[in-house]
Chains A and B, each alone.
Chain A
Amino acid sequence: MTTRRFPIISKYYWIYFVISLLIIIPGVISLALFRLRPGIDFVGGTILEFSTATSSAHLQKSDIGEIIGPNPEIVGFDATGPNLYSLHLPALSDESRGSLIATLSAHVQGYKERSLSSVGPLIGQELIQKTAVAMILAAFLIAVYLAFRFQSFEYGVSAVVATLHDVVVLLGVFSLLGHFWGVQVDTLFVTALLTIASFSVHDTVVVYDRIRERKKKVLREPMSETIDASVFETLTRSLRNSLAVVIVLLSLFLLGGETTRWFAFALLIGTITGTYSSTFVALPLLIVWEKIRARGKRV
């Protein structure tokens, strides 16, 4: 236990703050400027019900796709009765609505509009607010629990900050993806956010446990050295575990359907930053707390 270890956290903690800031700042700027690109789940859409001539052939979703082209994207298409159809589209401006109807009546035999309604969002303001309240409450309870279990509130606060770090990274990345590649956030994204938050805390606690155990075993070791040693002891496990999760998610990302691609991507980013933040955000924060406390004692 006397060998000198590379001071991976205790000496170079500021490097990790810089790395995190370099990743977070572009995302935060993008969030401030462009926000997220909300999908149909958040903003609602349009439902157009129409009938066709009784003699006309049965329409498929692909037929409508050929008629109206790639824009607007078809969210859903159902036959609701004989020669009756319901077409679900994103929210449309008056102009594009007019041109859409013109296209349809020109190409669909016996086209007759029955109703055109704007559909409200699936995820309303209330759901988002309440989920946010729940996450804040959960973060608070987790901080209290960890403060109690590890006999110091610094652990609780650092773990929550590390989780917040991951949530902000994920939001930032999707804001950039939304602005430059038109990636939308939907219900699945909300689920991914919740999953990542729990994964991140889970991982941090495993690293904390090592520090707690080592503090009991090796008496009178400076906190900074305990932390460095614990990092080396848990790094293998952290990497192996993340690799296992990444394997599952990567196959979901590469082989899963189009609809789950960005969901798998969100989880993938979250797993990587969750693993990083447990060691390189939560622990440097503990070092900073330690330094602040040491300074307080000296004065």
Chain B
Amino acid sequence: MNFSQALRSYVILLVIAVLALVLLLPATMKVDFGKQSVCQTVPSFLSSVCQGVYPLADSAPLTLTRPPLKISLFGSTFARDLEYRYGLDVRGGSEVTLVADMSNISLSQRASALESAKEVISRRINLYGLSESTVTTAVSNDSYRLIAAIPGITESSQITSLIGSTAQLGFREYVQPATASAIASPSSMLVSDFVPTDLTGKDLQEVTAQFDSSTNLPVISLQFTEEGKKKFAQITKRNIGKPLAIFLDEYPISAPNVQSEITDGRAQISGNFTTEEAKSLSATLNAGALPAPISVLSQRTVEASLGDSSIHNSIRAGVIGITLVIVFLIALYGLKGVLAAVVVVFYAILTLTMYKLIPLTLTLPGIAGFLLSVGMSVDTIILVFERLREEETQGHSTVSRLISKSFGRAWGSIKDANAVTLVSAFVLANPFSWVFLNTSGMVRGFALTLALGIVLNLFTGMLVLRVLLTLFYKPKNV
């Protein structure tokens, strides 16, 4: 990287920094440059001086509003409200208490039924993208409850309907009523005319929300397991020309006519869904059926589980810690240390912006993980500086050669060290939702934070630091 390339990158980085800072601003801000409010902020002994010299008169405070981010590109939309998502521990959220109807389940089975209902509900919440939620069981003498705590106060009716539905998917055959002489017209069919088959939600392998290629409407596409494939082939074979109804719990979703025997184990439900409905229905079906009917008992807002003071203290401790690290860097490395401090601050700003853009839920472990990742970014800087110190004794002809040699050698260890950390982040995040690994929001949230830290650390440590060194660093003996 020569000087002019570095200068160009520097301008781009400045633009990124300004954009990131704008994204970090709160949604609305009161700004007041009037005389009274400005002079209140200066120390009291200067107050009269300020009153005398301040050029602007009093004015009404100005409220600045930052619009939400919305970018439409190639038909897909990227929209963010640019607010932090806070976890239950930091900001509280809503708590939904569900009660399971265990009347059809034998006494000895009830505890395990509640446990599996808990698993299903947490899977649904996670599949719905509400990370960092918790579900616990609560048992008193004869009532079996689940308490779902969801961070933030969202459109709760949608959530309760999502987590509360039993999600028993069933395929039902049409049985001609004895009184009717021919197959009734679709409008005169009754729900009671359909009898359940042995094909159920248990035979599903995967459910996805898709768009029908001809109508462009959202549909739900089903893929059966091997056994389900056989059952489905038999059912379609004996029902050619007759309707086959698809029921969710006790409600028919659609009742298409069977055209021919289907042997590939695929089916599609089209039922006038909106895209949102199709997505949430497929999430519900993927998460599995509840072992017992569940109803919403109560819903309320809960306060942050950590007190305000605790959060406040942690943030203050973090700011003090980072400041001390910056002092430490400057004490060790002088001018280079100042550049390192700029890199650390840039890293922190970028990370916080990404929290808003992705968005990631800010929890206390998340904040602590962020502080630790600042430590890791310092590691990259120190690695580069130690190499720089070694290379300086080798007598390179130009600054850019010295810097490029140092970064080249530091990259060897930085690459492998970060690659292994990415491996652990990948396994813990479990992006393919393998059943033998975690699908819990907590562990996944941690893994995402870790992965984000690594990527940004490579960017700031390898690029930003290099640009700054190329522009501002003047070694003595070159």
A17 to B423, CA, bound (A): 28
A142 contacts partner chain B, Cβ-Cβ < 8 Å: yes
A237 interfacial by beta-carbon distance below 8 Å:
yes
Checking A133, A198, A247, A260 against B328 with a beta-carbon cut-off of 8 angstroms, the contacting residue is A247
Which residues in chain A, 208-266, are within 8 Å of chain B measured between CB atoms? 208-210, 212-213, 236-237, 240-241, 243-245, 247-252, 254-260, 263-264
Q: Once the chains bind, are A195 and B369 in contact (CB under 8 Å)?
A: yes
Give the contacting residue for A122; candidates B134, B139, B364, B368; CB below 8 A: B134
Contact partner of B424 (CB less than 8 A), chosen from A122, A142, A236, is A142
Asked if A197 and B306 sit within 8 Å, CB to CB, the answer is: no
* Minimum distance in angstroms from A103 CB to a CB of chain B: 20
Q: Is the CB of A264 within 8 A of B368?
A: yes
Residue B430 is within 8 A (CB to CB) of chain A in the complex: yes
B238 → A minimal CB distance (Å): 41
List A residues 97-133 near B (Cβ within 8 Å): 115-122, 124, 126-127, 130-131, 133
**Is residue A67 within 8 Å, beta carbon to beta carbon, of the partner chain?**
no
A29 interface residue, CB < 8 Å from B?
no
Interface residue? A25 (CB, 8 A): no
Q: A145-B419, A146-B420 are in contact. Are A202 and B376 (CB under 8 A)?
A: yes
- The answer on a CB contact under 8 Å between A149 and B416 is yes
Whether A255 contacts B313 by the Cβ 8 Å rule is yes
Are A133 and B437 neighbours in the complex by a CB distance under 8 Å? yes
Q: Which residues on B sit within 8 Å (CB–CB) of A209? A: 412-413, 416-417
Partner of B311, one of A44, A120, A252, A257: A257
B8 contacts partner chain A, Cβ-Cβ < 8 Å: no
Determine the distance from Cα of A198 to Cα of B368 in the docked complex, in whole angstroms. 15
Q: Check A32 for interface membership: any CB of B closer than 8 A.
A: no
Shortest Cβ distance from A127 into B: residue: B440
Interface centre among A78, A116, A145, A205 (most CB of B within 10 A): A205
Selected from B311, B332, B420, the residue in CB contact (under 8 A) with A201 is B420
Q: Is B320 part of the binding interface, using a Cβ–Cβ cutoff of 8 Å?
A: yes
Contact in complex: A117, B317 (CB < 8 Å):
no
**Residue from B305, B364, B378, B428 in contact with A260 in the complex, judged by beta carbons closer than 8 Å:** B364
**A255 with B143: CB separation less than 8 A:** no
With known contacts A205-B417, A259-B310, A138–B440 Cβ distance under 8 A: no
A94 CB, min distance to chain B CBs, angstroms: 13
Flag if B420 contacts A134 (CB, 8 Å): no
Give complex CA distance A126, B435 in Å: 11
| A260 near B140: Cβ-Cβ < 8 Å | no
Q: How far is the CA of A159 from the CA of B382 in the complex (A)?
A: 22
Interface contact B140-A248, CB-CB below 8 Å: no
Provide the residues of chain B in CB contact with A135, threshold 8 Å: 424, 427
- Please tell me the size bucket of the interface on B: 35 or more
Q: Which residues of B contact A254 (CB under 8 A)?
A: 317
| Interface flag for B136 (CB, 8 Å) | yes
- What are the interface flags for B372-386 relative to A under an 8 Å C-beta threshold, 1 for contact and 0 otherwise? 101110110011001
Which residues of A are found within 8 Å of B376, using beta-carbon distances? 199, 202, 245
Docked-complex contact B437 and A210, CB < 8 angstroms: no
Determine if B138 and A47 form an interchain contact, defined as CB atoms under 8 angstroms apart: yes
Instruction: Indicate if B221 sits at the interface (CB-CB under 8 A).
Output: no
Kindly report which residue of chain B lies nearest to residue A206, judged by CB atoms.
B413
Question: Distance (Å) between the CB of B220 and the closest chain A CB?
Answer: 28
> Separation in Å of the A209 CB from the closest CB of chain B?
3
**A252 touches which one: B137, B138, B318, B427 (CB < 8 A)?**
B318
Q: Please tell me which stretch of A8-16, A170-178, A186-194, A280-288 contacts chain B, meaning at least 4 of its Cβ atoms lie within 8 angstroms of it.
A: A186-194
**B134 surroundings in chain A (CB, below 8 A):** 122
Q: Does A80 contact B (CB under 8 A)?
A: yes
A120 touching B421 by the CB < 8 A rule? no
B303 at the binding interface (Cβ < 8 Å): yes
A137 at the interface (CB under 8 A from B): yes
Asked if B437 and A199 sit within 8 Å, CB to CB, the answer is no
Closest to B137 in A: A120
Residues of A close to B101: CB separation below 8 A: none
Cβ contact within 8 Å between B423 and A267:
no
Chain B proximity of A240: nearest CB distance (Å): 5
The answer to whether B317 touches A115 (Cβ under 8 A) is no
Question: A182 — which chain B residues lie within 8 A by C-beta?
Answer: none
A259 B364 Cβ-Cβ under 8 A: yes
CB distance A244 to B136 under 8 Å?
no
When C-beta atoms are compared, the residue in chain B nearest to A136 turns out to be: B427
A138 to B427, Cβ gap below 8 A? yes
Q: Does B27 contact A (CB under 8 A)?
A: no
Interface string of B136-153 (1 = CB under 8 A from A): 111110010101000000
Once bound together, how far apart are the Cα atoms of A142 and B320, in whole Å?
A: 35
Q: Mark A125-167, 1 if CB is under 8 A from B, else 0.
A: 0110011011101100110011001000000000100000000
Q: Which residues of B contact A69 (CB under 8 A)?
A: none
A209 to B413, CA, bound (A): 5
A208 vs B313: C-alpha distance in the bound complex, in angstroms?
A: 38
User: Shortest distance in angstroms between B329's beta carbon and chain A's nearest beta carbon?
Assistant: 7
Q: Is A76 an interface residue (CB 8 A)?
A: yes
B-side contacts of A264, CB under 8 Å = 368
A62 CB → nearest B CB, Å: 12
A256–B317 contact, CB under 8 A? yes
A243 touches B328 (CB 8 A): yes
Chain A contacts of B20 at CB under 8 A? none
How far in angstroms is the closest Cβ of chain A from B431?
Answer: 12
Binding site for B on A (CB under 8 A): 44, 47, 76, 78, 80, 115-122, 124, 126-127, 130-131, 133-135, 137-138, 141-142, 145-146, 149, 159, 187-188, 190-191, 194-195, 197-199, 201-203, 205-206, 208-210, 212-213, 236-237, 240-241, 243-245, 247-252, 254-260, 263-264, 267
Known: A137-B427, A257-B309. 6 other contacts (CB 8 A): A78-B303, A137-B437, A205-B416, A210-B413, A244-B378, A244-B379
- By Cβ-Cβ distance, the 5 closest A-B pairs, closest first, are A257-B310, A120-B137, A209-B413, A245-B375, A248-B321
A-B contact pairs, 17 of them (CB 8 A): A80-B300, A127-B443, A187-B442, A194-B428, A194-B443, A202-B421, A205-B413, A206-B417, A212-B412, A245-B378, A245-B379, A251-B317, A251-B320, A252-B318, A257-B312, A257-B314, A260-B314
